[in-house]
Amino acid sequence: MPRISLIHATPLAIDPVVEAFTREWPEAEVCNLLEDSLASDLARDGEITPAMTGRFVHLANYVRDNGADAILFTCSAFGASIEAAAQALAPVPVLKPNQAMFEDAIRQSKKVGMVATFAPSIPSMEREFTEMAAGTGAVLRSACADGAMAVLGAGDGPGHDRMVGEMARTLEDVDIILMAQFSTARARNLVEDLTGKPVLTSPDSAVHKMRRLLEAK
């Protein structure tokens, strides 16, 4: 039974990805590590600092030393720090939160929309998508449902979903829509209903990719 360590920067990401593992790969042993000062420190500093990257490498080493066969970071704003952790822990598989979802989207469409609820995550996610899509012609259009994450944190899940859905409806000339944060996965069905477009979520795509990686070893 593989042990998959999930490293979170917000408690809102935990349930969506645990539910995805339960549904798509119940045999996996899932362990959660929450470090919720990461998101607030990024919002304060306005950029990823060397010290923050060092924290990511430390967290990855910690779960590796506790028996992780693979690591999934669920915090979408920290691409460069996660890449550093992946290099430090090779050959242990380390996935960025949206890596698999972006791969799926690029295979399926050239006109991709994305709805975020954490504005600081958008620049790094757009850079990551652009790098991955180089040469494919795929283009990403982003929108942010400002305030939706706070609404979800206050316990109003339906209110959060409505805000995400309304923002998704503003995306023009896209064929597929991505839910940028793990916590926005819960809005998938509503977004599909409101837009009539297929929706991809980070938790489902990440679980599928992680399973393929480990079962191929």
Give the domain range for residue 115: 99-201
Within 8 A by CB and 6+ apart from 22, the residues are none
Radius of gyration from C-alpha coordinates of the chain: 16
**Predicted pLDDT of residue 44:** 87
Q: Give the whole-angstrom CA distance, residue 180 versus residue 121.
A: 8
Cis peptide, bond prior to residue 16, ω within 30 of zero: no
Taking phi over 0 as left and psi of -120 to 50 as alpha, with beta for the rest, 48 belongs to beta
62 and 119 in a single domain? The answer is no
76 and 116 in a single domain? The answer is no
**Predicted pLDDT of residue 7:** 97
**Predicted pLDDT of residue 101:** 97
Can you give the pTM of this predicted structure? Answer: 0.90
Residue with tokens 């992780």: 68
Q: Give the whole-angstrom CA distance, residue 86 versus residue 72.
A: 10
Q: Mean pLDDT over all residues of the chain?
A: 95
120 and 151 in a single domain? The answer is yes
Per-residue model confidence as pLDDT tens digits over 97-155: 999 999 999 999 999 999 999 998 899 899 999 999 999 999 999 999 999 999 999 99
Per-residue model confidence as pLDDT tens digits over 150-197: 999 999 999 999 999 999 999 999 999 999 999 999 999 999 999 999
**Predicted pLDDT of residue 120:** 85
9 and 87 in a single domain? The answer is yes
93 and 103 in a single domain? The answer is no
59 and 143 in a single domain? The answer is no
- Residue 178: CA count within 13 A, CB half-sphere: 33
106 and 193 in a single domain? The answer is yes
Query: Does 47 score more than 90 pLDDT?
Result: no
Distances (CA, A) of 189 to 99, 156, 193, 198: 22, 17, 6, 9
Proportion of the chain above pLDDT 90, given as a percent? 87
Choice among 12-16, 43-47, 201-205 with the minimum mean pLDDT: 43-47
**Predicted pLDDT of residue 87:** 95
Quick one: which H or E segment has residue 102?
helix 99-108
78 and 140 in a single domain? The answer is no
**Predicted pLDDT of residue 97:** 92
169 and 153 in a single domain? The answer is yes
The count of domains in the chain is 2
